[in-house]
C-alpha cells in the first residue's frame, strides 16, 4: 500500500484538483454521472493523478493544463 503520508498527500491534492483543472474536472463529472459516490470519484482521481505524475516523471515533461 505504500507510505500513508504519500497516500494522504495524493488524496489531499485530488480533493481539490477536480475543481481547478478541466481534465480532472471532466473525469470527476464522468464518474459522478456513472453513479459513483463523491469519495469513490475522488479515489479514481487519486489513481489518475498517480498515473499522470508517473508519466510526467518517466518522460521528463511538464504538466500543461488544458483550457
The model's pTM: 0.86
Q: Where are the domains of the chain?
A: 4-59
**The C-alpha cell that represents 30 in the structure block:** 464522468
pLDDT reported for residue 21: 92
pLDDT at residue 28 above 90? Answer: yes
pLDDT reported for residue 2: 87
pLDDT at residue 63 above 90? Answer: no
Amino acid at each position: 500500500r505504500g507510505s500513508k503520508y504519500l497516500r494522504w498527500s495524493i488524496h489531499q491534492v485530488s480533493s481539490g484538483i477536480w475543481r481547478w483543472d478541466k481534465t480532472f474536472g471532466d473525469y470527476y463529472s464522468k464518474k459522478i454521472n456513472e453513479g459513483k459516490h463523491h469519495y469513490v470519484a475522488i479515489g479514481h482521481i487519486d489513481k489518475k493523478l498517480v498515473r499522470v505524475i508517473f508519466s510526467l516523471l518517466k518522460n521528463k515533461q511538464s504538466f500543461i493544463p488544458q483550457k
